[in-house]
Every structure is written in structure tokens, then in C-alpha cells.
Structure 1
Amino acid sequence: MTAHGEARGLETLTVGSPRPGRRLGAVSGHLVKEIRERVGFSQDQIAELLGVDKSTIQGWESGRRSLNASRAGSLRAIKRNFLRLGGDPSMIMQLDQALDADSIINFVVDGPAVQRADDHPLASWVLTRDTTHMLAWALTGGVPASLPKTEKIPRRGPAPGSPKLPRDELEAFFSQMRRAAELAQQSGDEAALLRRQALYLCSYDISADTAAWLADVRRRTPRTHSPGWSPDWADARSVATSLTRHGDNDALAAFMSTGMGDEAGEAANLNYWAYWLGIDSLPKSDDHFMVAAPAQSWDALALLRGLTDRLKPGLGAIDLNVHSVWALLALRRGILTADSELSRHLQNQVTALLDSDGISPQARQELVSVHYGLKLTT
């Protein structure tokens, strides 16, 4: 690190100004539309109830007018009014994550040239699952798992069913993310968070060469051979889970055999899960919270609930999910007796996984151990 803590090698990441027709509020605008449609109001009705012009509602929902341009007080008023009109509270709360996703997309696609890692929004803020899934909504069109399920709402005309970016903007986003990852890799630990998060977001790219590119970055990333946690550990975990999205499970198996074999690795994994799932809700500026926070600082039952929901056949990184449940139960002995309903849900999930294919011998052995522990507590 330099005397002023500046990273090296990040000469240029983004270029230009917003291109004509760009939707600067695509994610938050689409979420506003989802909230409005689920309470059953037309644009005319919601405009009158909110005390704004219909053109304002149309601008928000199309993404042409960004909610990020509104004053903080106005945003709070918008959320309060949606709640008063019967909007789903969980969706209203996620407007903040949608706005964060829009700001990241706009920075990457159209933002100013970056000279230092510290200038990039992904360099000093650890993304949560909800924000990442809002980004993925724009990158893939896949509805975030955190949004409440509902029947599909019929729409008139060719209205888009998601905030997915057009092809040229997707290409620009992923190109800049790859550039950020490559340049951050040259900068060492100072840019570790930027490198890790850029690599993870690149895994949403469906380009034919994505898996090979991620694997090549993984091979070229220096590995720390000292015991315990390091930024390399966080990198390896993210890249390994990312590659499972492209059908490559070898990197995850390699990571679990080397990175989960000591107390520091196990604690870091559970600490990261607690943050990723929103159980540890305090914002993080770098990855060191994985080892800086005591493994007992979060609600173990809440974490077990979140991890239990991820024990489903066919999920990517399922072996890591299984191991994380097994490790949590080993760390917090007796937790299975604290919530009988959760124990029954876990039992059903474990049984379904044991009856399925696609898990490693180690994961199957750990599931058998969890199954036995559940039988002893019921």
C-alpha cells in the first residue's frame, strides 16, 4: 500500500457520459411498477394519490427518470405513501437496494474514468445478497428470491416483465467488470474487495468464454500459503461459487478441501453467510469482517433458517451449503432443540437431498450426520 493507502494499476475503468435513451433508474423503476401493480392501482390513480403528475410515475417506471435524483426526504415520503396505500412492506424496504443497484450499473456503464480503486463503488462496500440479486435482476432478468411471490400480473402491450438491460448495456457492463477485475488483480490486497466482487458479478455473464475467463483469473491469482484467512481466501470462495453457475464444480471442491479445513476458514464462512443473508446487518467496508467478528455475534437460529432454505437439490454450490449447515450445528450444539418447526423443516430438506443426486460424497456424509442429530432431538 502506498503512503496514502492508494491502490495501483486502476488507470481507466469507465468512459463517457450516459448514452442516449439510457434508463438510469431501470431497477428501482421496475420495482415501483411491481409495487403499484400489486396494490391494484393504475398510473393515473397512483399519481393522484401520491400528488405527482402521471408523467412522473411513467418516468420512474420506465427508468427514464431515476429515483436516485430525488431528494432523500422525497424518497422517504414515496416509501411512506406506498406503505399507506397498501404496498408490500418487504418490497418497499428493497427500494433502497434497487437504488443501490441502479447507481452501480450507471457508474460502471457510463461513469467517469477511475484512477484509484477507492473511487470504484465496489471497492469499499461489501454487497449484500439483496443488492446483488437486484443487480442480477438487471443482468439476467431473474426475479430476486427476496421479492414476495405472486401470481403473474397481466400487462397490456409490450411492457417489459423485468428491468433487464439491453444487450449493448450488458456488454458494456460486463466488459467494464472484467477490466475492473483484471486491473484490481494487479493492485494486490489494496483492491481485494473490488477484485472479488467484480469477479462475482462477471459470473452472471452468459458469454461463451465466461467460465474459461473466470478459471484463468483463478489460476493467475497468487495464493497465500500461510495458515488462516486472507483476502485470497475470500477471492477463492467467490470465484469457486461463481464457477458453479457455469457448471464447473471442481473449483468449489478444491476450495472446500483447502479453505475449510481450519477454525479460521470455518468461522469466516459462517460470518460471511450471516452478512450475505442480512442477519449481520451492519455495513462492511472490506472483507476482514469475516475474521474480525466473533462467530457468536449473530443470531444462529436466523442463520440456520436462511441456510436451511438453501438445501435444495439442483442449487449451485450445494456442497458448500450443506457443509455450512453441518459446521453451524457443530459450532452451536443444542440449537436444534430451540425451534421444533425449524427442525422439522430441516429434516424435510435433508431427506430430500439424501434422496437426490448431484451432491458429493462428503456432503452426503455430512447430511447423514445432520439427519442423525435431528433424530436424537425429536
Structure 2
Amino acid sequence: MNSVYLVYTPYHILTAAGLASLYDESDKKYLVIVSDFADADMFCHVISKWNRNPFLEIILLDGRYNISNETEIKRVNVFRKNVRLLKDLFNTKLKDGCNAFIYHDANVEGQIIAYLNYKKGGTNFYVEDGTSAYSNYIAPTLPFYKILIARVVYGKFYENVRILGMNRYISKIMVFSPENVRTELRNKKIIKIPKQVLLSLNNNIFISNLLKSYGIDQKKLDIKNVFIAAHSDHLIKYNLMARYKILFGCCITELKDIHVKYHPRERIPDFLDVEKDPKVKIIPQALPMEILSLSLIGREPKMIIGDISTSLLTAKILLKPARVISLLRLLNSENVYPEEIFKKEGIIIPKKVTQLKKELKSHES
């Protein structure tokens, strides 16, 4: 049986590459990348040149990053085109069904693959999208008329998936931490993803080649502390920008050396105003944090600070010696849904600024 991997982020690509090269014994493997992030084409190129590339073909689709400023009609047309291209894939190269590894089954691309593959007798896997497999977050219910419109525009297969992994055509769930999987997913077969899926990528030239694409020499990396900046849209939406800058100021004051990592989709240049600060270095914005974490194994930073980013969870998994801190309680964030899994994995969550300062001072001294 053949297999197809549908991915939307650099994190997805990393786990797909690891799974396909280490554990997938399928005859032919296809990678479908939906361009929901910057540099999707660069990732496509690096994988195709990788000497251990496990994929017979890599298909690059337009995604939300390309069309973020387009009209709703143009966005819908892009998604309709993606549905059409995926139908062609199943009609020509995956005629007999396959193992489909789907990283986002709420999006229309994931739903059409799950539907077509189920009808052909294939097996559909939801592969964890980060914290969503463990949190208690439930997406809002779409108005009935919007669901009807989606079914008319895309097809009768469309459904309002409010919890990732709950698409009716998905039967198996793949996660790094099965013991922490959210209750709603436990009625499906749970499969543990070995940590080696990610670690193996650091034992060959894949990660170093990705870093070279960003002008970074892996052997010269020297990072003491990392601050993973939240997306400014989130901070503005919840009126958190002023408080966030105060918390970041605490980190700059207490830490002697800090690297700032802005979100890959951030559109406000250097909103923390750190470019001219000699104590602060800016990591290339488009570089995914997961790649940075992999490249730092064996020379871990002292501290990694963020809010609710999946990158914090990945960093804690990969960089055990590092102290990982989440600011979610200090921000009084309405999105506190990753808190339980963060606590279980040993991520520190200060409730007061004095606690944060104490953590920063104790680890820097």
C-alpha cells in the first residue's frame, strides 16, 4: 500500500520526514505541502535534494500564507483548486486507497483526503498538530448556513470539525504523548510517535541543509536564552501588548544574553524594538523554532521563554536540560488550554512577575 502525508507547517514536515524515512514501509510515499507558512517552496527544495528523501513526489499547494490579503472569493477559489488537485492525485496515483497521514482535518484539504481514502478502503491517521491533541480547546460551531455553503462549494464530504482528529473518516491517532491525549480522541486507536522520529533528522544533513538555507552554520550556533515572541495579532486582539512588553523587559533585564524569535507569520517588523539592543540578537523570522530546537541538541540553551506556542512543548521534548517557561498566566490569557499538558511536561508557568524574575535570576546566576 502507498501513503500520503498532508502537512501545513514546518513542524508537520519534520515529523512527516521522520515518520516516512524511519517507519513507513509503503511502496510509494507522497508529500503534500499546503503553503500556510513562509518558505514552503524552500522546504520543498531542501527535501527534494536530501539524500535520504523518502518521498516519490512532493506536491506544493497554495495555502493561507499566500492568500492572507486576498478577497474571500479568491480564497475560496484557491481551496477549490486544492480539492480538485487532491481528487486528481487519488484518481491517478492513489487509486486503491492508502495510508493517509493528516495533520489538520478541520481544513478542506484534510477532509477531502480523509473522505476519498475512506471510500477506497484506505486508513486515515490524524497526526498531532502540537498542543491541540492534548488541550481542552474546542473551536466555535459554524453557523448552519456556512456549513451548507461549504458543502455546496467544496463537496458533501465537508463537516464542521471542532476538535482536530475528530473527522468521522479518521480511525487512528498518532501522538508523542499518548498518556496525555485529550478525552475526545481516546475512542480511536492511539499510536505513539517515537521521539526518534524527530531526533533522527539531526543525525544527517537534513537539518544542517535547512539551516544553510537561512544562512546559518549549525556548527557555529551559540544560543544561551531564547524568547519566542507571540504573534502581535493575538496581543492586539486581547489588548495584551503593553503588558507583554513589560514581561519581555523583565527578561532583558535579568538575562545577559537573549535571542528573540518572532513568529514566522508576524507582519509587524521588530514590534519589541530590540534590533538595536546589544544584548539581544534576532533569529531569522522565517526559521521555524522546531528546526532551531533540533539543531541545539547537545548544546542546549539555558532557558526558553514563550506563551502558548507549540514550540515550547517541542523544545521541552527535545531540549530536556533547558528550563522552559510559559508566560500564559502572567498574560491572563484567555487561551489557557495548553496549561495542563505544559505542567505535565515540566514547563514552568509563573503566576506572578516576582516568580518570573526569581526563575530568571536563579538560572542566570
TM-score w.r.t. length of structure 1: 0.27
TM-score w.r.t. length of structure 2: 0.28
| Richer in strand (by share) | 2
| Richer in helix (by share) | 1
